[in-house]
Amino acid sequence: MDYAIQSGLIDEALVHVQAGAGGRGCLSFLRTRLRPKGGPDGGDGGDGGSVWLLVDGSLRDLLHFRQRRRFAAEDGRSGGGGCRSGRRGRLVEVRVPPGTRVYDSSTGELLGDMTSVGLRLLVARGGRHGLGNAHFKSSTNRAPRSVTMGIAGEGRDLRLELCLLADAALVGFPNAGKSTLLRAVSAARPRVAAYPFTTLQPELGVVEVDILTRFVLADIPGLIRGAASGMGLGHAFLRHLRRTSLLLHMVDASESSAQDICASLGAVEQELTAYSQELAVRPRWVVLSKLDVLPADEGARLCGAVRTLLPESLPMYGVSGVSGQGCRELMAAVAAHLDASP
């Protein structure tokens, strides 16, 4: 799959990678009773370990780099007597999600585009090993005392960049309160206004449920009857929903009866199906919005009435993007759902 999207939300991480140094060569001479002048036998050191980046298909963002930013591979060991070579340093593999672009942060050079799962990229080469004195033996110098040190491993500051795709999306009629909810739960600032079609392009926001859990939520322009046959929604619509595994279907609960709410849910469902068969089968939840407008008991009664009209298997939540009521619970449930889905 092609993950390279130019627009959208960018995730960024700065990491330092350090390869291991080569091990030094050994200075040694063979001395035994039978061979008192056995000659030089100092072995070479081992090469330093390198640092690689590896694309891991189970990762979705760069969040784990908040926990750890420095990655160092092992140094090579020194050589030994008896012409024993030192062990190589162990390499380090740093896992990144598909779609990560890798830059050298000091020069700005693009080092690689990590598009496909399993791809590996060498980002810091381990230092070469040093030579033991056995290496310098020649016909004119039978007892060399020279050895070389290993070479230092490469060190580099990297900037990782990833275009985030929406994990979940808000859909519904215009004015349902989608942008208001996105503002309430993320740092995204889509425009909100009391007229339909305020949002003309999908907007993305990162929802942080806790320090290690977050997902990308998309605010999709309002759908109306006939939207599927070309009104307003362009390519951008589907593009942002490629990886979206959950649709949150929002419906304004402030001025309607339970029957009206179900009728408008049905109308939007028809539009989605007409727009794309693929979207029609995505999991979805119903979200009743603007509950702050109703007195608490009336809101609860309305939610109960809608609940009885909907299929039992369809999850339903009530929220208000203005008062914040129900927003945390909904976002935590979405995060749990995303975590559990493949």
Ligand X SMILES: Nc1nc2c(ncn2[C@@H]2O[C@H](COP(=O)(O)OP(=O)(O)OP(=O)(O)O)[C@@H](O)[C@H]2O)c(=O)[nH]1
Is residue 288 within 8 A of residue 307, CB to CB? The reply is: no
Alpha-carbon span 43 to 297, nearest angstrom: 83
Which residues in 202-241 contact ligand X (CB under 6 A)?
221-222
Contacts for 297-304: CB closer than 8 Å, 24+ residues apart = 299/253, 302/253, 302/258, 302/261, 303/253
Alpha-carbon span 282 to 75, nearest angstrom: 50
Closest CB to Mg ion among residues 53, 250: 250
Q: Is 85 in the site for ligand X (CB under 6 A)?
A: no
Q: Is 198 in the site for Mg ion (CB under 5 A)?
A: yes
> Which residue is closest to ligand X by CB?
222
Radius of gyration for the chain, computed over Cα atoms and rounded to the nearest angstrom: 30
Q: Is 186 in the site for ligand X (CB under 6 A)?
A: no
Residues facing residue 120 across a β-bridge: 54
Q: Is 180 in the site for ligand X (CB under 6 A)?
A: yes
Q: Is 146 in the site for Mg ion (CB under 5 A)?
A: no
Closest CB to ligand X among residues 94, 204: 204
Q: Is 169 in the site for ligand X (CB under 6 A)?
A: no
Which residues in 148-187 contact Mg ion (CB under 5 A)?
179
The residue range among 49-57, 87-95, 103-111, 174-182 that interacts with ligand X, by the rule CB under 6 A, is 174-182
Among 50, 133, 199, 320, binds Mg ion (CB under 5 A): 199
Q: Quick one: tokens of 268?
A: 């939007």
Q: Is 292 in the site for ligand X (CB under 6 A)?
A: yes
Among 111, 122, 280, 293, binds ligand X (CB under 6 A): 293
Closest CB to ligand X among residues 263, 281: 263
Alpha-carbon span 324 to 255, nearest angstrom: 19
Closest CB to ligand X among residues 73, 216: 216
Which residue ranges make up the site for ligand X (CB under 6 A)?
174-180, 192-194, 196-199, 221-222, 289-290, 292-293, 320-322
